[in-house]
Amino acid sequence: MIKFFQHIVIWLVLLFLYAPIMILMVYSFTDSTMIGTIKNFSLQNYVTLFTTPELVSMIVGTFTLAIGVALLSTFLGTTGAIGAFYSKKRTRGAIELANQIPVVNADVVTGFSVCILMIVFFKIRKETFIPLIIGQTALCTPFVYLSVLPRLKQMDHHLYEAALDLGCTTSMALRKVVIPQIVPGIVSGFMTAITLSLDDYFITTYTKPATFDTISTYVVNATKGSQTEIKTALWALSTLIFVLAALYVVAQNFAKKKEEKT
C-alpha cells in the first residue's frame, strides 16, 4: 500500500515536470498555432527554424558564445583551482571566498554589477562583446573551480613527487601527471559552464550589444510579441534542445558507469 502511494507521488511529479514540454513537443510537429487545436502533421516549424536568418544567427550566436565562455572559464577555473590548491591557506581561503560570491549571488545582481563596472564606470561599449563575455565568465568560472577542486583533493600526490624525482620539470609533471588525473572534473566543469551560459538571461540582458540575442533573451521577447510563426518555430527549438539534453544526460550516465568499473 505504501509502495503504491510512492509510485503515485513519483508519477504525479513527473507528469507536472514533463507534461508541458511533452505536449509542446507533439505540437511542434503540427501546423497548429495553439495548444488544444488539433491540426495536421507538419514539419513547417523545423523548416522555419532553420531557414529564418534571424533565428539561425541567434542559435549560432548563442552556442558560439557559450563555447567561448566555457573555454575561457575552464582555463581560468582549472588553473585557479590548481594554483589555489598548492597555495598557502590564507591565499586559498581568499580565492575560495571570492569564488563563492557569484555562486550565492542573485544573477540579477551579478549582471547589474558587472554592467555598472564595465559600461558605466570603465565606459566599455557593449558592441565590443567584452562586457558580455566577462560577465558570463564571472558567472561560470566559479562552478568550474568547484568541480575541479574535489578531484585535486582525491588525487594521489605521491605520483607528482615521483615524477619530479624521476626528472620531470614542474610544468611537465603538471601536464603529464596532475592534469590527466583531474580531467573528469575539468570536463564536467566545462559542461556546467556551457549550460550556465545557455541558460543565462540576466547577465546577457544587461551586457549584450543591442543587436545580439541569445536563446533566453530572444524567447522572452518573442513571448511578448505576436508573431505566431516565430512562436511555433521556438517549439521546434525546445524539442531539439530537450533531445540534446536527454542524450547528454544518458551519455554522462554511461561515462560514470565506465569510470566506476575501472
Partner 1 sequence: MKSNNLRKQLAIPYAIFLIFFVVLPLLVVIYYGFTNGDGEPSFDNFIRFFKNGKTIGTLVYSIAIAVLTTFFCLLLAYPVALIIAKGAYDKHTKFLMIFVLPMWINFTLRVTALKEILTFIEGNLAYHQFFNTILCMVYDFLPFMIMPIYNSLTKLDNGLIEAASDLGANKIQVFFKVILPLSIPGIVSGITMVFLPSMTNYVVLDMIYNSTYIMGSLIGSYFSAYDWHNGSVISIILLMIILGVTVISNKFTESDSKTQMAR
Instruction: Tell which positions 155-214 bind partner 1, by CB under 8 A.
Output: 164, 169-171, 174, 195, 198-199, 201-202, 206
Instruction: Evaluate whether 74 touches 189 at the Cβ level (below 8 Å).
Output: yes
Question: Using the rule CB under 8 A, is 105 a contact of partner 1?
Answer: yes
Beta carbon of residue 2, minimum distance to partner 1 (angstroms, whole number): 8
Of the candidates 103, 116, 119, which has an alpha carbon nearest to the alpha carbon of residue 192? 103
Q: Give the span between the Cα atoms of 48 and 51, in whole angstroms.
A: 5
Beta carbon of residue 173, minimum distance to partner 1 (angstroms, whole number): 8
Question: Using the rule CB under 8 A, is 262 a contact of partner 1?
Answer: no
Q: Give the span between the Cα atoms of 89 and 169, in whole angstroms.
A: 25
Kindly tell me which residue out of 67, 76, 155, 159 binds partner 1, with binding defined by CB under 8 A.
76
Interface of this chain with partner 1, residues 2 to 31, rule: CB under 8 A: 3, 6-7, 9-10, 13-14, 16-21, 23-24, 27
**In 105-227, which ranges are continuous DSSP H helix?**
107-115, 130-154, 157-165, 170-173, 179-199, 202-207, 215-224
Cell readout for 81 is 583551482
Q: Give the span between the Cα atoms of 217 and 29, in whole angstroms.
A: 24
Q: Give the span between the Cα atoms of 100 and 102, in whole angstroms.
A: 6
- The stretch near partner 1 (CB under 8 A) out of 40-48, 49-57, 100-108, 181-189 is 100-108
Nearer to partner 1, 183 or 220 (CB): 220
Beta carbon of residue 43, minimum distance to partner 1 (angstroms, whole number): 19
Beta carbon of residue 206, minimum distance to partner 1 (angstroms, whole number): 6
Q: Give the span between the Cα atoms of 101 and 106, in whole angstroms.
A: 9
Question: Using the rule CB under 8 A, is 95 a contact of partner 1?
Answer: yes
In angstroms, the first-to-last Cα distance of the chain is 40
Instruction: Tell the residue number behind the cell numbers 588553473, with chain if given.
Output: 79
Nearer to partner 1, 104 or 262 (CB): 104
Interface of this chain with partner 1, residues 112 to 141, rule: CB under 8 A: 112-117, 120-121, 134-135, 137-138, 141
Nearer to partner 1, 13 or 47 (CB): 13
Kindly report the number of other CB atoms within 10 A of residue 94's CB atom: 13
Beta carbon of residue 53, minimum distance to partner 1 (angstroms, whole number): 21
Kindly tell me which residue out of 59, 69, 84, 140 binds partner 1, with binding defined by CB under 8 A.
84
Q: What distance separates the 2 farthest-apart alpha carbons in the chain?
A: 73
Cell readout for 16 is 507536472
Interface of this chain with partner 1, residues 232 to 261, rule: CB under 8 A: 234, 237-238, 241-242, 245-246, 248-250, 253
Nearer to partner 1, 51 or 175 (CB): 175
Q: Give the span between the Cα atoms of 244 and 218, in whole angstroms.
A: 20
- The stretch near partner 1 (CB under 8 A) out of 41-49, 52-60, 93-101, 182-190 is 93-101
Cell readout for 196 is 550556465
